[in-house]
């Protein structure tokens, strides 16, 4: 059984927390979402997203999925339903127009992590003193980077680095990315919003994840460090130690 920790914080500058997270240990499903939209629309979008995923998992036993393809189809259908709900909310209520949310989901089965993402909330794998990013950001700047238009250094300081190109609820249809990675004993799988990785550099993430703390303590320490580094956005993190 994995050790689990999670923590969310508004940060220093924002007035409300538009992040949301949900852990479903009984089904080995873990979710982080980061809402976008004016007023409190982002907050509604992220909470609707994690609630929708949780309700889908509760109603449709993922354990019935027999192979990788059926797992991907399972989460594709889940996110299609969630996307439809959030999109319709944005269409029906003028104050919610433009509401959407990023999401990153992890499902653990035996020694395999299945990771699904839309937007720029990320999944990382920490193993034996090293960290690697599992997901790809759906952002304008990452598109430029992948196409060789800008350098990594230019991407870090780009004035449009927070512009996302895909989000749940932004369009009538949704396209998620799927990843699969093998897990080893003592690996840590970390899901987080950009409020964490946007403030804390990878070397510091490695140092904190490498400490022999509980996962709850690790998450608290990560959030503290993000706040110490500026806390300019909401910060949410979920950690699972295998």
Q: Could you tell me if 230 and 199 are in contact, meaning their C-beta atoms sit under 8 angstroms apart?
A: yes
Collapsing DSSP states into helix, strand and coil, what is residue 96? helix
- Domain that residue 181 falls in: 3-241
What distance in Å separates the CA atoms of residue 80 and residue 74, rounded to the nearest whole number?
10
Global confidence as pTM? 0.93
Taking alpha carbons only, the member of 64, 42, 68, 186 closest to residue 121 is 42
Total structural domains within the chain: 1
Contact between residue 127 and residue 205 where contact means Cβ atoms under 8 Å apart: no
Question: Each residue of 182-232: pLDDT tens digit?
Answer: 999 999 999 999 999 999 999 999 999 999 999 999 999 999 999 999 999
Report the pLDDT value the prediction gives residue 94, as an integer from 0 to 100.
77
Residue 152 pLDDT: 65
Tell me 53's DSSP state: H
Please give the pLDDT value at position 47. 97
Element (H, E) at 37: none
pLDDT over 90 (residue 81): yes
Looking up residue 82, the CATH number of its domain turns out to be 3.60.40.10
For residue 162, pLDDT over 80 is answered with: no
């Amino acid at each position: 059984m994995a050790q689990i920790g999670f923590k969310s914080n508004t940060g220093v500058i924002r007035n409300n927390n538009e992040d949301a997270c949900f852990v479903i240990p009984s089904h080995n499903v873990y979710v982080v979402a980061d809402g976008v939209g004016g007023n409190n629309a982002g907050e509604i979008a992220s909470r609707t997203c994690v609630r929708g995923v949780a309700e889908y998992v509760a109603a449709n036993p993922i354990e019935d999925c027999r192979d990788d393809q059926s797992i991907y189809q399972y989460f594709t259908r889940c996110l299609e339903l969630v996307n439809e709900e959030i999109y319709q909310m944005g269409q029906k209520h003028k104050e919610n127009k433009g509401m959407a949310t990023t999401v990153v989901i992890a499902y653990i089965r035996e020694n395999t992590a299945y990771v699904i993402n839309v937007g720029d909330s990320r999944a990382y794998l920490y193993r034996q003193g090293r960290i690697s990013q599992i997901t790809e950001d759906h952002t304008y700047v990452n598109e430029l980077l992948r196409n060789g238009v800008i350098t990594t250094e230019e991407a870090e300081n780009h004035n449009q680095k927070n512009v996302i190109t895909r989000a749940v609820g932004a369009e009538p249809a949704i396209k998620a990315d799927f990843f699969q990675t093998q897990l080893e004993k003592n690996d840590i799988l970390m899901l987080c919003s950009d409020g964490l990785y946007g403030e804390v550099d990878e070397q510091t993430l490695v140092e904190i994840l490498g400490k022999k703390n509980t996962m709850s303590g690790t998450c608290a320490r990560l959030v503290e460090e993000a706040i110490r580094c500026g806390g300019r956005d909401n910060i949410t993190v979920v950690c699972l130690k295998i």
